């Protein structure tokens, strides 16, 4: 499949059989969504073909609700997928589908534009399932979902009887619901009859084996090249035709060896890093009888009786969407900037860093080099950091407004690492990270010297990096000591 910058992938082949439940994974920008569109038929491949069995009905789960259905009720939004002449007679099926998605009779009359994130996802699934497909194509359906809705989606996919291809960066979800994995990398596709984690381990083992084989092959190529050059020189020096002929034969052998040489992965161009400083204090942050409201005069979303955080604490702040997690981080940040709150206390020497999920800390009208100035004053330090993060020197004058979400996220992480904060507040930092980025973030947080307050719905990231768990539920913040118990609590309360 070609783009203006060359092919996203080429010469890929695979077969999907009935009963296959495949995860499609790969780096951001490698072409996963494009491949789904090719399979669906909305994009045509530059070369090759896609064949489907005559009886196979395929349906793609949209990432976003189309704007034209915002004014429609949920029932009508589902029926809009059918030809006009079939809608009235099939309305009962829409009602049954929406009921299976957990909606009440009152819910299905809600206007689509008013839906929460969890309702949004379930409506998208209902719109796809009204076609009674044999194969579902799902493009990152878990993005921006809270944990209760993630758990619902996991249960739905486990129990659905059809086949599917699921694009996701959530390795836990993929491990639970898939029986095979497609890895799109280096413009080609690798297929494994294994769920995500096992498939990635198998691919990593193959990479290691390929690298050793490549090294041995290159050593042999170098040896023959040296010999060929020596024979060619001797042939010219002594006017020996036999030596010159042998040199040419060896050169042809080198060409054959290079043509058949083992290919090795180009790998990722950036490794996420976070450097911080530990502040010797018994508390970096303290909240006591704190009320968290989205705006002055508005009733509080929740209260925090007493909570403290010190260096070495990596606290996961969990709860449903809309419970007040991001609002708390903003309130702490505003307190540090001078909007004082008597129920909040920060250590006088604490230096907090804030990852705002909207990425508004990076001004659109600043160049990449200028955007990092608040984090590090020395221009030379900023230049080196940008280059090591995969932003070549020629791009340093680009404006932040031209960056993709993933590039903005990478730029903000560069800034957070340069500043060496003693307290990191991260609001949904994985929204623009691929699987490798999430793993790098988990490793960076485990080794982080300061304190961390993390808002995330990513169970694997929380499990791999956090040692304390704060749950916002029923209007209050409480500490839990078992992540599985928090997940079960959120699952029982359901998505809203």
195 shares a domain with 321: no
**Which 8-state DSSP code applies to residue 130?**
T
DSSP string covering 250-275, please?
Answer: HHHHHHHHHHTPPP-----S------
Domain finish residue from 243, 259, 275: 259
Is residue 18 assigned to a domain? Answer: yes
DSSP string covering 13-71, please?
Answer: -----TT-EEEEE--TTSSHHHHHHHHHTSS--SSS-----TT--EEEEPSS--GGGTT
Note the pLDDT of residue 496: 43
Closest by CA position to 350, among listed 284, 276, 425: 284
Note the pLDDT of residue 9: 67
Note the pLDDT of residue 408: 85
112 shares a domain with 223: no
Is residue 131 assigned to a domain? Answer: yes
Summarised one tens digit per residue, pLDDT across range 49-107 is: 677 776 778 888 877 788 888 999 999 999 999 999 899 898 899 999 898 888 888 88
- 189 touches 9 (CB < 8 A): yes
The angle that helices 147-159 and 117-129 make with each other, rounded to 10 degrees, is: 20
310 shares a domain with 341: yes
Helical ranges in 80-182 per DSSP H: 84-87, 91-100, 117-129, 147-159, 171-177
Note the pLDDT of residue 2: 47
User: How many C-alpha atoms does 32 have within 13 Å on its Cβ side?
Assistant: 24
Note the pLDDT of residue 382: 92
Residue keyed to tokens 């058949």: 260
136 shares a domain with 234: no
Is residue 25 assigned to a domain? Answer: yes
- 90 touches 80 (CB < 8 A): no
177 shares a domain with 110: yes
80 shares a domain with 188: yes
Note the pLDDT of residue 51: 72
| Pairwise CA distance, residues 7 & 11, whole Å | 10
Q: For the chain, what is the domain count?
A: 3
Regions of the chain with pLDDT less than 70: 1-10, 47, 49, 54, 117, 144, 266-270, 493-496
Closest by CA position to 450, among listed 366, 346, 362, 299: 346
Residue 225 sits in which domain range?
203-259
| Pairwise CA distance, residues 44 & 24, whole Å | 19
296 shares a domain with 219: no
| Pairwise CA distance, residues 331 & 3, whole Å | 44
Q: Domain holding 195: CATH number?
A: 3.40.50.300
- 372 touches 385 (CB < 8 A): yes
174 shares a domain with 239: no
212 shares a domain with 191: no
Is residue 125 assigned to a domain? Answer: yes
Is residue 454 assigned to a domain? Answer: yes
Is residue 104 assigned to a domain? Answer: yes
Note the pLDDT of residue 1: 52
Note the pLDDT of residue 22: 95
Closest by CA position to 436, among listed 295, 265, 289: 265
Note the pLDDT of residue 281: 85
Is residue 383 assigned to a domain? Answer: no
197 shares a domain with 111: yes
SS (H, E, C) 349-390: CCCEEEECCCCCCCCCCCEHHHHCCCCCCCHHHHHHHHHHCC
| Pairwise CA distance, residues 465 & 439, whole Å | 9
Rounded CA Rg of the chain: 27
248 shares a domain with 131: no
Domain finish residue from 177, 201, 225: 201
The model's pTM is: 0.76
Question: Measured between alpha carbons, how far is residue 239 from residues 56, 231, 232, 267, 484 in Å?
Answer: 70, 11, 10, 47, 80
Is residue 479 assigned to a domain? Answer: yes
Helical ranges in 144-279 per DSSP H: 147-159, 171-177, 196-237, 241-259
30 shares a domain with 172: yes
């Amino acid at each position: 499949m070609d783009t203006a910058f060359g092919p996203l992938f080429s010469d890929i082949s695979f077969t999907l059989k009935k009963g296959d439940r495949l995860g499609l994974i790969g780096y951001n920008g490698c072409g996963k969504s494009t491949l789904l569109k090719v399979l669906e038929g909305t994009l045509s491949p530059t070369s090759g073909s896609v064949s489907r069995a005559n009886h196979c009905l395929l349906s793609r789960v949209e990432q976003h609700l189309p704007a034209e259905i915002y004014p429609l009720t949920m029932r009508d939004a589902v029926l809009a997928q059918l030809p006009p002449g079939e809608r009235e007679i099939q309305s009962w099926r829409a009602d049954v589908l929406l009921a299976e998605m957990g909606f009440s009779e009152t819910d299905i009359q809600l206007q689509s534009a008013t839906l929460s994130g969890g309702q949004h996802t379930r409506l998208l699934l209902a719109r796809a399932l009204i076609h009674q497909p044999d194969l579902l194509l799902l493009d990152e359906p878990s993005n921006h979902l809270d944990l209760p809705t993630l758990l619902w989606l996991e249960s739905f996919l486990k129990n659905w009887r059809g086949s599917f291809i699921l694009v996701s960066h959530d390795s836990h979800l993929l491990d639970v619901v898939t029986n095979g994995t497609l890895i799109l990398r280096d413009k080609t596709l690798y297929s494994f009859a294994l769920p995500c984690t096992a498939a990635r381990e198998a691919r990593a083992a193959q990479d290691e084996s390929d690298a050793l084989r490549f090294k041995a092959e290159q050593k042999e190529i170098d040896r023959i090249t040296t010999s060929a050059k020596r024979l060619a020189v001797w042939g010219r020096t002594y006017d020996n035709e036999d030596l010159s002929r042998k040199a040419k034969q060896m050169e042809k052998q080198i060409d054959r060896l290079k043509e058949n040489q083992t290919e090795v992965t180009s790998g990722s161009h950036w490794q996420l890093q976070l450097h911080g400083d530990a502040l010797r204090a018994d508390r970096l942050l303290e909240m006591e009888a704190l009320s968290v409201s989205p705006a002055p005069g508005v009733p509080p979303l929740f209260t925090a009786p007493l909570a403290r955080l010190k260096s070495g604490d990596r606290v996961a702040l969990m709860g449903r969407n809309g419970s007040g997690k991001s609002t708390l981080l903003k309130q702490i940040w505003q307190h540090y900037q001078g909007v004082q709150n008597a129920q909040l206390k920060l250590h006088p020497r604490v230096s907090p860093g804030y990852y705002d999920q909207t990425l508004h800390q990076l001004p659109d009208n600043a160049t990449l080099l200028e955007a990092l100035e608040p984090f590090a004053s020395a221009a030379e330090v900023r230049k080196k950091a940008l280059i090591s993060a995969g932003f070549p020197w020629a791009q340093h004058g680009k404006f932040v407004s031209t960056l993709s979400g993933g590039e903005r996220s990478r730029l903000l992480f560069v800034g957070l690492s340069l500043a060496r904060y003693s307290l990191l507040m991260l609001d949904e930092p994985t929204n623009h990270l691929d699987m490798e980025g999430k793993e790098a973030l988990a490793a960076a947080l485990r080794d982080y010297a300061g304190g961390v307050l993390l808002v995330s719905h990513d169970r694997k990231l929380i499990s791999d990096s956090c040692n304390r768990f704060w749950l916002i539920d029923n209007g209050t913040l409480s500490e839990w000591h078992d992540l599985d118990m928090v997940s079960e609590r959120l699952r029982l309360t359901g998505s809203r």
